[in-house]
Amino acid sequence: MTTAVPPASALLDKLRGPGPLILPSMLLCDFANLQREAERLSEAGFQALHLDVMDGVFVPNLSYGLSVVKSLRRVTPLPLDVHLMIANPAQYIEAFRDAGADVITFHAEATSDHAAVLEQIRRTGAAAGIVLNPDTPVSDIAAVVELCDLALVMSVQAGFGGQAFRPEALEKFQHFRQLAQARPDLILEIDGGINRETAAQAWRAGAQWLVVGSGIFAHDDYAAAHQALLAACST
């Protein structure tokens, strides 16, 4: 396996910092005003956006696809972190990169050839990541951690709304650190049920990127919501 650093390394270095990176989950944004939403989030200090792509096959729900990624790419310079909750992710990697994805993650449960998909993403120049549902052990992808720029841990089952945060998912971060000798710069991300309380738990457990939905979009003041999440992680 190659462990060459992909061109995306410069972007990832820019997004690293001493504190957590909060990524708004665009599933809950106002799609009738997509450009304005992206502008408001940028003005509020967010440095990247998270897009959940659901196909109704790998997960039972549908969300959005290439057209929304393309639309956002036209109206914002913010990096786009695209989370593919889809079957057969290899078929769509180049299309999502061409649409404007800067980071592409796919589910370990969606394919048996993790290395091939990670290599495929890296060849496009995007940052490559793998996602684990709560019941999937880190050992399932131990052999390919060296190919990952980031690892996304789901703290709810992907594709289902209204679920309670599963704190046992936090144990995965320690497992990743133990495996990441070949990628000491591995970024750890969490998605699912993240609010002020759970954001603090996730940050203390080792998560660096925190995907937040209603904890941002349920508030009129996005900047205040952002600051409240950051403050929760600092206590």
CATH number of the domain bearing residue 178: 3.20.20.70
Q: Is 13 a catalytic residue?
A: no
Look at residue 151 and give its three-state secondary structure.
strand
Classify residue 16: in a domain, yes or no: no
pTM assigned to the model: 0.94
How many structural domains does the chain have? 1
User: Residue 7 — very low, low, confident or very high, per pLDDT cuts 50/70/90?
Assistant: low
The set of residues, in sequence order, having a beta carbon less than 8 Å from that of 41 and lying 6+ positions away, is: 24, 49, 78, 216, 222
For the cut 60, the answer to whether the pLDDT of residue 67 exceeds it is: yes
User: What is the pLDDT, as a whole number, of residue 17?
Assistant: 87
User: What is the pLDDT, as a whole number, of residue 125?
Assistant: 95
Q: Is 98 a catalytic residue?
A: no
| 169-181 per-position pLDDT tens digit | 999 998 888 886 7
Q: What percent of the chain has pLDDT over 90?
A: 84
Q: What percent of the chain has pLDDT over 70?
A: 95
Classify residue 10: in a domain, yes or no: no
149, 191, 220, 221: the catalytic one is: 191
What range does the domain containing 188 cover?
22-156+166-233
For the cut 50, the answer to whether the pLDDT of residue 4 exceeds it is: no
**Which residues sit opposite 209 in a β-bridge?**
21, 189
Are the CB atoms for 106 and 84 separated by under 8 Å? yes
> What does the block give as tokens for 145?
């951690």
30, 52, 55, 81: the catalytic one is: 52
End-to-end CA distance of the chain: 41
Classify residue 3: in a domain, yes or no: no
Per-residue pLDDT averaged across 127-145, rounded?
95
> What does the block give as tokens for 85?
């909750």
Per-residue pLDDT averaged across 192-216, rounded?
95
